[in-house]
């Protein structure tokens, strides 16, 4: 009996080195609470995004900011600059700051501030969650809506009260787990087309996310729970290119038609980076101008843009001892000067 028991014990966790408990979402909320006034701001920001997606607000929606946040000091400086610009352009555009703490990886690489906040493969996830929540509280208190990618299905329990807009990335749009998670998110959510350019994958994801689901997750106390959702009505499509760009009028028209045929909202956002810019940040303004020209000409469905932008242009390898301030360590970004000039040109 004891031998069988011992043998059975060896059947689990054979490739697991350790298990490190985390504080519960409720614990982190208590340590870093969201003040009532800031909470009202987040709710109003979500409503503003939803109204733009539904056509009730004529302004454009622009999600702009660093590809990823790795240095909170640089993030704070970017926040201060963007907040001033957003206020100046508020009559024509609703600006939401990209605050991406999780990065999907095709093979390996830095997975974001939550997973590896010290950039040294120490994977102090508790510190990462704490830093992420602290920075998001700062944004809410400063009056800047936050956008992020929903990647790990547990993270929204820790940070979801601070987010005004979510994206589901091209690598995960086809994932059942992420479609189910999106059905329970408390903010509007965009789905990117697949990495090959397939819009149908995103259309199917939107259909799934608008539906009620039941799946495994955690509650506020960190206990495993069955999550029952009602579905997220505020979903939309993000065109991010694939093997070829897909921001031109013909591709946008085809995407809107496919959404309509599926009985879905026809709101389309264009990601000016990734496949649409061939990962060349210098091309993002060209894409943005082309898309906004379509919108001005009356193209139905276009609600806004995504831009990858940092304090300085380009990107850099992750070498801790030689990091340049305000430069991305993931995708190459536009610099701030070019970003400000572009947004003033389009919406000033």
Q: Which tens digit of pLDDT belongs to each residue from 5-55? A: 455 567 888 899 999 999 999 999 999 999 999 999 999 999 999 999 999
User: 211 to each of 182, 207, 208, how far by Cα in Å?
Assistant: 10, 7, 5
Q: Does 323 score more than 50 pLDDT?
A: yes
Q: Which tens digit of pLDDT belongs to each residue from 188-230? A: 999 999 999 999 999 999 999 999 999 999 999 999 999 999 9
Q: Across-strand partners of 48?
A: none
Q: Which tens digit of pLDDT belongs to each residue from 221-255? A: 999 999 999 999 999 999 999 999 999 999 999 99
Band the pLDDT of 263: cuts 50, 70, 90. very high
The least confident of 8-22, 151-165, 258-272, 302-316 is 8-22
What pTM does this model have? 0.95
Distance CA 232, CA 208 (A): 9
Q: What share of the chain is helix, strand, coil (3-state, %, to 5)?
A: 40, 15, 45
Give the per-residue pLDDT at 7.
54
Domains and CATH numbers, the chain: 22-347 (3.20.20.70)
65 backbone φψ class: left, alpha, beta (φ>0; ψ -120 to 50): left
Q: What is the mean pLDDT of residues 278-282?
A: 96
310, 243 contact by CB (below 8 A) = no
Give the per-residue pLDDT at 107.
77
For the chain, percent of residues with pLDDT exceeding 90 = 93
User: 120 to each of 70, 90, 114, 123, 126, how far by Cα in Å?
Assistant: 12, 40, 13, 8, 15
Q: Which residues contact 25 (CB under 8 A, 6 or more apart)?
A: 157, 158, 218, 219, 220, 221, 222
Q: Which tens digit of pLDDT belongs to each residue from 93-135? A: 999 999 999 998 877 789 999 999 999 999 999 999 999 999 9
Q: Where are the beta strands (DSSP E) in 102-257?
A: 146-149, 165-168, 189-192, 214-218, 224-228, 235-239
What is the pLDDT of the chain when averaged over all its residues? 96
Give the per-residue pLDDT at 12.
87
Q: Does 330 score more than 60 pLDDT?
A: yes
Output the six-digit token pair for 189: 């959510």
Give the per-residue pLDDT at 1.
39
């Amino acid at each position: 009996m004891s031998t069988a028991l011992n043998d059975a014990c060896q059947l689990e966790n054979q490739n697991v080195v350790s298990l490190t408990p985390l504080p519960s979402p409720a614990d982190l909320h208590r340590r870093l609470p969201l003040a009532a006034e800031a909470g009202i701001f987040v709710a109003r920001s979500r409503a503003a995004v939803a109204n733009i997606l539904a056509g009730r607000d004529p302004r454009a929606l622009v999600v702009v900011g660093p590809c990823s946040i790795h240095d909170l000091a640089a993030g704070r400086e970017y926040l201060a600059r963007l907040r001033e610009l957003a206020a100046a352009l508020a009559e024509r555009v609703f600006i939401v700051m990209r605050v991406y703490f999780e990065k999907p990886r095709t093979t390996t690489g830095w997975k974001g501030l939550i997973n590896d906040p010290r950039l040294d493969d120490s994977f102090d996830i508790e510190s990462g969650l704490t830093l992420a929540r602290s920075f998001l509280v700062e944004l809410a208190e400063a009056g800047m809506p936050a956008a992020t990618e929903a990647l790990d299905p547990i993270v929204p329990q820790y940070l979801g009260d601070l987010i005004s807009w979510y994206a589901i990335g091209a690598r995960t749009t086809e994932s059942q787990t992420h479609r189910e998670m999106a059905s329970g998110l408390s903010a509007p959510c965009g789905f990117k087309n697949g990495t090959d350019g397939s819009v149908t994958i995103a259309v199917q994801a939107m259909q799934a996310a608008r539906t009620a689901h039941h799946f495994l997750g955690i509650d506020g106390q960190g206990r495993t729970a069955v999550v029952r959702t009602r579905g997220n009505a505020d979903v939309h499509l993000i065109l991010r290119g694939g093997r070829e760009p897909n921001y031109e009028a013909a591709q946008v028209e085809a995407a809107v038609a496919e959404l309509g045929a599926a009985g879905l909202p026809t709101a389309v956002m264009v990601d000016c980076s990734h496949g649409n810019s061939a990962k060349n940040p210098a091309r993002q303004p060209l894409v943005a101008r082309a898309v906004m020209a379509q919108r001005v000409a009356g193209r139905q469905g276009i609600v806004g843009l995504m831009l990858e932008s940092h304090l300085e242009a380009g990107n850099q390898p992750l070498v801790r001892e030689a990091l340049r301030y305000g430069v991305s360590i993931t995708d190459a970004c536009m610099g701030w000067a070019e970003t400000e000039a572009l947004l003033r040109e389009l919406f000033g």
